[in-house]
Structure 1
Amino acid sequence: MKIFDEEKGSSILRKPLGFVVLLFAVFISAKMIAKGGMMSGMVLVMLPILAIYLNLVFNNPRYGLMSVFVVEFFVLGLGRYISGIPIGLAVDGLLFLTYLALIFKNFYQGVDWSKAKSLLTYLSMIWFGYAILQLVNPEAVSRAAWFYAMRGVSLYMVLTVPLVFLLWRKPEDISRFLVIWAVFSIIGTMKGIGQKIFGVDPFEQKWLDDGGAITHILFGKLRIFSFYSDAGQFGAAQGQAGVVFTILALSLHSKKDRIKRILFIVAALLGLYGMLISGTRGAIAVPIAGFFLYLVLTKNIKILAVGSILGILIFVILKFTMVGNTNADIRRLRSAFDPNDASLQVRLNNQKKLSTYLASRPFGGGIGSSGAWGQRFSPNAFLSNVATDSWYVVIWAEQGIIGLYLHLTILFIIIGRASYLIMFKLRNPVLLGQMRAMASGILGIMGAAYGNAVLGQMPTGIILYICMVFLFMSPQFDKILEERNAENAKLLK
Structure 2
Amino acid sequence: MDNFKINISPPERKNTSNWLYTFLRKTFITDKLANPAGITFLIIFSLLFALIIYRQGAETGILLAVVITGVPAIYGLVAYPKVGTVIVMIAAYFIMWIAAMGVDFPLGTIMDGLEALLILGFFISQKNKPNWSVFKNPIAYIILIWISYNIIQIANPTARSILPWIYTIRSVAAVMLMYFVFTNSINTVSFIRFILKLWIALSVFAALYALKQEYIGFFPFEERGLSDPRVKSLLFINGHWRKASIFSDPVAFSYNMVATSLLCISMLFGPVSKHKKIVLGILTILFMVAMLTSGTRGAYVLVPAALVLLLILNFNATILKFSIVAGVLFAALVFTPTSSPSIRRFQSAFRPSDDASFNVRKITQKRIQPFIQSHPIGAGLGVLSNTGKRMVPNNILRGFAPDSGYVRVAGELGWVGLLLFCTLFFVSLKTGISNYYKMKDPELKNYCLAMILIVFAFLVGSYPQEAIVQFPSSVYFCLFLALITVTFKLDSEKQHHTKNSK
Same fold (TM over 0.5): yes
Q: Deviations over 1:456-487 (max 9, x none)?
A: 32212222211211212323211344577789
Could you tell me which residue of structure 2 aligns to residue 186 of structure 1? Answer: 204
Q: Is the 8 A contact 1:239 1:274 kept in 2?
A: no
Q: In the alignment, is the contact (CA less than 8 A) between 2:207 and 2:286 conserved in 1?
A: yes
Question: 2:104 maps to what in 1?
Answer: 84
Aligned residues: 459
Match for 1:218 among 234, 237, 246?
Answer: 237
Q: Does 1:410 align with 2:424?
A: yes
1:364 partner SS: coil
Residue 403 (structure 2) aligns with: 389
Give, in whole Å, the separation in 2 of the partners of 1:104 and 1:30: 42
> Does the alignment pair 1:470 with 2:488?
no
Q: What is the 5 A alignment of 1:38-437?
A: 38-102=58-122, 109-157=128-176, 159-210=177-228, 211-254=230-273, 258-259=275-276, 261-300=277-316, 302=317, 306=321, 309=324, 313=328, 316-317=331-332, 321=335, 323-338=336-351, 339-423=353-437, 425-437=438-450
Mapped partners of 1:450, 1:220: distance in 2: 27
Secondary structure of 1:79's aligned partner: helix
Deviation at 1:382, TM superposition (A): 4.7
Following TM superposition, by how much is the alpha carbon of 1:67 offset from its aligned partner in structure 2, in angstroms? 1.2
Distance apart, 1:20 and its partner CA: 12
Give the Cα separation in 1 of the matches to 2:101 and 2:498.
50
State the partner residue of 2:21. none
Deviations 1:43-64 (A, max 9, x none): 2223222233234334423211
CA contact (8 A) 1:243 1:440 kept: yes
3-state secondary structure, aligned to 1:369: coil
- Secondary structure of the residue that 2:104 maps to in structure 1? coil
Residues 154, 392 of structure 1: alpha-carbon distance in 2 compared, 3 angstrom cutoff = farther
SS in 2 for 1:251: coil
1:90-135: CA deviations, max 9, x gaps? 222112112334455677x354344443322221110011101211
* 1:116–1:165 Cα contact (<8 Å) kept: no
Q: Partner of 1:368: helix, strand, or coil?
A: coil
Structure 1 residues 104 and 142: alpha-carbon distance in aligned structure 2, compared to 1, 3 A threshold: same
Residue 134 of structure 1 contacts residue 367 of structure 1 at CA under 8 Å; is this kept in 2?
A: yes
- Of the two, which has the highest radius of gyration? 2
Structure 1 pair 426/133, CA: closer, same or farther in 2 (3 Å)?
same
Displacement of 1:141: 2.6
Deviates more, 1:262-271 or 1:213-222: 262-271
The unaligned stretches of length 5 or more in structure 2 are: 1-42
Does the 8 Å CA contact 1:282/1:452 hold for their aligned counterparts?
A: yes
CA–CA distance in structure 2, aligned partners of residues 104 and 349 of structure 1? 50
Q: Is the 8 A contact 2:307 2:323 kept in 1?
A: no
User: 1:390-412: CA deviations, max 9, x gaps?
Assistant: 11111111111111111101211
Q: CA RMSD in A?
A: 3.0
Partner SS state of residue 349, structure 2: helix
List per-residue Cα deviations over 1:207-228 (Å, max 9, x = no partner).
2123422211112211010001
| Long gaps (5+) in structure 1 | 1-18
Task: Quote the Cα distance in structure 2 between the aligned partners of 1:113 and 1:354.
Answer: 42
8 A contact 2:235–2:242 mirrored in 1: yes
Partner of 1:455: 468
C-alpha contact (below 8 Å) 2:150/2:381 kept by paired residues:
yes
SS of residue matched to 2:416: helix
**Structure 1 residue 253 displacement after superposition:** 3.4
Change (3 A) 1:133 1:483: closer
**How far apart are residue 264 of structure 1 and its match?**
3.1
TM-score (norm 1): 0.85
Per-residue deviation, residues 250-300 of structure 1 (Å, max 9, x unmatched): 323347xx45x4553343222111211110000023202221221111143
Distance in 1 of aligned mates of 2:278 and 2:402:
40
In 1, the alpha carbon distance for the partners of 2:376 and 2:232 equals: 35
Q: Percent identity?
A: 26
Q: Distance in 2 between matches of 1:66 and 1:216?
A: 32
